[in-house]
Amino acid sequence: MNNRLIIVEGLPCSGKSSTSAFAASVLEKRGKVCFVDEGTGNHPADYEFHALAPAGLLADEEKVVALADYSGELFDQLLPHKIYDGLPWETEMPLMLGKWRQFVANRDESATYVFNCVLLQNPMCETMMRFGFPEEVSREYIGRIAEIIRPMEPVVIYLQNTEIAASVENAAKSRPGWLDAVIPYHVEGMYGRSIGAEGFDGYVRCLEERQRRELRILADLPLTSLVVENPQKDWASAREKIRAFLEKL
């Protein structure tokens, strides 16, 4: 199964990181695996904490830079140009598609890649939550990514959750301050404002609609997928289902 791309998707607190690690452990028995979790800061297919430095700040031309490499006044000058959160969509979108193309072109063809949340979650957070675009825009953008990665025969494992509020509340107990950041991001974004979302309940409403859209988009993508319903209710059973799915690839 060399040169496949496995992507684990789902809402926050659905178990994506642990499931991605589990998938990587299953696949390692069959060959080389490159597992990249969310938040590494140096993702081969994503700009997690990068900025597009404007011409004249660091070089004569615009330049993509890792924000972790800067501090002080220069960091403050770069932060408004962060690729996620700072740029207009017409600037951000081609940068992200270019990053995907670069990854596919430079991939290690002897390895299977396992990613967390880069095909659905990150695009949906931008197109839906931040910009408030209709589902058709999200669908078209995600479809373009799917076409770019098609040579790698991509596979998606989606962790569907019908108990979103309970899962978030449970996860927040071990993540001090996390809700204080994610709630404003969602309820104050264009989508959140469009539905009058407020507080924790508004955050959950945003997630519920995001999941509905993601599942509809996933069902129409030309790739292999597995939807695991409420894995948090029985992780042992969910992992056996995922193991059997991966072993058939």
Contact between residue 17 and residue 37 where contact means Cβ atoms under 8 Å apart: yes
DSSP H helices in 125-247: 135-148, 164-172, 178-187, 190-194, 199-220, 235-247
User: Which pLDDT tens digit goes with each residue over 129-157?
Assistant: 999 999 999 999 999 999 999 999 999 99
| Structure confidence at residue 169 (pLDDT) | 96
Question: For the residues 110-120, what does the mean pLDDT come to?
Answer: 96
User: Which pLDDT tens digit goes with each residue over 174-210?
Assistant: 999 999 999 999 999 999 999 999 999 999 999 999 9
Question: For the residues 155-180, what does the mean pLDDT come to?
Answer: 95
Q: Is the pLDDT of residue 40 over 90?
A: no
**Where do the structural domains in the chain lie, given as residue ranges?**
5-44+110-247, 48-106
Q: Is the pLDDT of residue 3 over 80?
A: no
Neighbour-count burial of 187, counting CB atoms closer than 10 A to its CB (0-12 exposed, 13-18 middle, 19+ buried): buried
| pTM summary value | 0.96
With respect to CATH, is domain 5-44+110-247 assigned 3.40.109.10? no
| Structure confidence at residue 1 (pLDDT) | 57
| Structure confidence at residue 42 (pLDDT) | 84
